[in-house]
């Protein structure tokens, strides 16, 4: 089974802090994704990566950046956290394009 | 781009069948997925269907695809309280094949 591991289930940070969310997958997948999930809005794609050191903006990249230095790890960075970034963050990975995404358990991030 | 619509809530009695419906706009959608999300957890892949199929069955789950109407449904037979969750439909089409997700249907199973 594919295992996608997010480093924290719950995280509380302060406004203005730099926040790192980490995601690791164990299936040598090329593609990795970061989403945020908010009530009534469903899943919105922040960034994705189709290879090491490659990244593409999703639908809502503002206020975020990403890093993919190794194939198995994809990090989401909030450069200067704001309260409107309080949300559930979901990481996913996928092998080839015709394969489904597999998700981690999510990180519930609160910015105070 | 793709737009995926689902009803927000469905309430069923334990033991009955549940049918969750989804419509999508992109007729070139090649892959269609169903995910389940339990409270506080991530999305769990339930099943998926390719656009060249009309139906797929996997134990209690049956997926029906009507390409003409761009309509996808998920039927859960003998629904149990453990099936209570949010169910997401997603469609992916050519290019990057990145899925577009619906907003999810909350399934409530009562005794």
- DSSP E strand boundaries for chain A: 4-6, 10-13, 19-25, 31-38, 42-49, 56-57, 64-70, 73-78, 87-94, 102-103, 107-111
Q: Test B42 with A106 for CB contact under 8 angstroms.
A: yes
Q: pLDDT value at position B1?
A: 67
Q: Is the CB of B53 inside 8 Å of chain A's CB atoms?
A: no
Q: pLDDT value at position A110?
A: 98
Q: pLDDT value at position B40?
A: 86
> Taking 80 as the threshold, does the pLDDT of residue B107 lie above it?
yes
User: Which band of pLDDT confidence, cut at 50, 70 and 90, is reported for residue B104?
Assistant: very high
Q: What is the mean pLDDT of chain B?
A: 92
Distance from CA of A95 to the nearest CA of B (A): 12
Q: Is the CB of B44 inside 8 Å of chain A's CB atoms?
A: yes
Q: Is the CB of B40 inside 8 Å of chain A's CB atoms?
A: yes
> Taking 80 as the threshold, does the pLDDT of residue B16 lie above it?
yes
Residues of chain A with pLDDT under 70: none
pLDDT tens digits, residue range B43-70?
999 999 988 889 999 999 999 999 999 9
Spatial neighbors of A107 by CB under 8 A, at least 6 apart, are: A6, A7, A8, A9, A10, A11, A21, A88, A89
Q: Is the CB of B87 inside 8 Å of chain A's CB atoms?
A: no
A with B: how many residue pairs have Cβ under 8 Å apart?
47
> Taking 80 as the threshold, does the pLDDT of residue B14 lie above it?
yes
Note whether B102 and B5 are within 8 A (CB): yes
Within 8 A of B102 by CB-CB distance, chain A residues are 42
């Amino acid at each position: 089974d594919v295992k996608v591991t997010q480093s924290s289930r719950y995280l509380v940070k302060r406004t203005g802090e730099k926040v790192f969310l980490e995601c690791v997958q164990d299936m040598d997948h090329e593609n990795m994704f970061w989403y945020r999930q908010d009530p009534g809005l469903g899943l919105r794609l922040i960034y994705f990566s189709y290879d090491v050191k490659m990244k593409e903006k999703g639908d809502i990249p503002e206020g975020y950046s990403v890093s993919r230095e190794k194939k198995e790890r994809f990090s989401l960075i909030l450069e200067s956290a704001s309260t409107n970034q309080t949300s559930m963050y979901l990481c996913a990975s996928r092998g080839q394009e015709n394969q489904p995404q597999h998700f981690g358990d999510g990180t519930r991030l609160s910015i105070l | 781009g793709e737009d995926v619509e689902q009803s927000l809530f469905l309430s069923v009695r334990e033991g009955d069948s549940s049918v969750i419906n989804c419509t999508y706009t992109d007729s070139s959608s090649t892959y269609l997925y169903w995910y389940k999300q339990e409270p506080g957890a991530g999305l769990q892949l339930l099943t998926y269907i390719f656009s060249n199929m009309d139906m797929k069955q996997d134990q209690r789950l049956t997926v029906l695809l009507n390409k003409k109407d761009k309509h996808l449904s998920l039927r859960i037979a003998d629904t149990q309280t453990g099936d209570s969750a949010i169910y997401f439909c997603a469609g992916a089409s050519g290019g990057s094949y990145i899925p577009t997700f619906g907003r999810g249907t909350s399934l409530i199973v009562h005794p």
